[in-house]
Amino acid sequence: MDRSRRATNPDNYNENGTVKKQGNKKVRWNKSNHYIRYQNELRESYRKQADIRKYQHECLANYIISLGNKVYVEKMNFAGLQKRAKNTEKNDKGKYRKKKRFGKSLANKAPSMLLTIINRKLGYFGEKLTEINTSEAKASQFNHFDGTYTKKTLSQRWNDLNGIKIQRDMYSAFLIMNISDDLKSFDIDKCNDRFENFYRLHNLEVDRLTGRNNLSSIAI
């Protein structure tokens, strides 16, 4: 589609391949018959993808609610995660960091839609999603063994808790499950009572995922 549009509208591009600015005027594009056909096919693919995503979210929401009608989630600004980074920064090796963030992943997975569906289904039981205070209860940084907070990089997917290796996202979910009534801190007594069973289930799930796929999102 891009090659077709460039061939049909050569005057709309600079020599370096970028689109010419037209001031306050909107750039006018001529579309070939081939381009229009491809555009319709792409639009149909997006429609099917959206339908499949919604159906899978409905099924996943039903499964989650089958486990219980008390659902705790971290309050997230998904729109903010989709935006490109504003500042130009370099990494430790002197290379520029990419400004892209999670726009494509969020568009494909639609987590906000999943939470909306879960909240709607919880409403049938007179319940609703409970959002914890992420600025106070930092699940990804907390260690319930010693009560300390350790900031981690996004690429660090595993926690070392007193010599025990725990997958970061699973442990965060465990902590959120044991949130205090104020939704700002974690109930240490509950964490201690439930950790042994959680760790057993954690290892079973890691073994299951390892046997099926190489999942980069949880570093398995």
Residue 220 has pLDDT above 80, yes or no: no
Query: How many beta carbons lie within 10 A of that of residue 159, not counting itself?
Result: 20
Chain center to CA of 207? 23
On whether residue 191 sits in a domain, the answer given is yes
**Does 191 or 90 have the greater pLDDT score?**
191
The answer as to whether 10 is a domain residue is no
Residue 71 lies in a domain: no
What Cα–Cα distance (Å) separates residue 131 from each residue in 170, 181, 190? Answer: 18, 12, 19
pLDDT tens digit string along 2-39?
A: 999 999 999 999 989 999 888 788 889 999 999 999 99
Determine if residue 27 is left, alpha or beta; phi over 0 gives left, psi from -120 to 50 gives alpha, anything else beta: beta
Cα 50 to Cα 39: distance, rounded to the nearest angstrom: 17
Q: Note whether residue 68 is domain-resident.
A: no
Query: What pLDDT, on the 0 to 100 scale, is given for residue 24?
Result: 81
The pLDDT value given to residue 144: 92
Range of the domain at 168: 136-220
| Any domain includes 167 | yes
DSSP structure class, residue 13:
B
Number of domains in the chain: 1
> Is pLDDT above 60 for 113?
yes
Q: In the numeric block, which tokens belong to residue 18?
A: 């970028």
Residue 190 domain-assigned?
yes
Q: Is residue 216 part of a domain?
A: yes
Task: Please tell me the predicted confidence (pLDDT) of residue 212.
Answer: 63
Per-chain mean pLDDT for the chain: 86
> From the CB of residue 123, how many other CB atoms can be counted at a distance below 10 Å?
11
- Long-range contacts of the stretch 148-153 (C-beta < 8 A, 24+): none
Query: Which DSSP letter does residue 85 get?
Result: P
Rounded (10°) angle between helices 111-123 and 33-67: 40
Does 65 reside within a domain?
no
Percent residues over pLDDT 70 in the chain:
85
Q: Is the pLDDT of residue 95 over 80?
A: no
Q: What is the pLDDT of residues 178-213, one digit of tens each?
A: 999 988 899 999 999 999 999 999 999 888 888 766
* C-alpha–C-alpha distance, residues 118 and 45, integer Å: 26
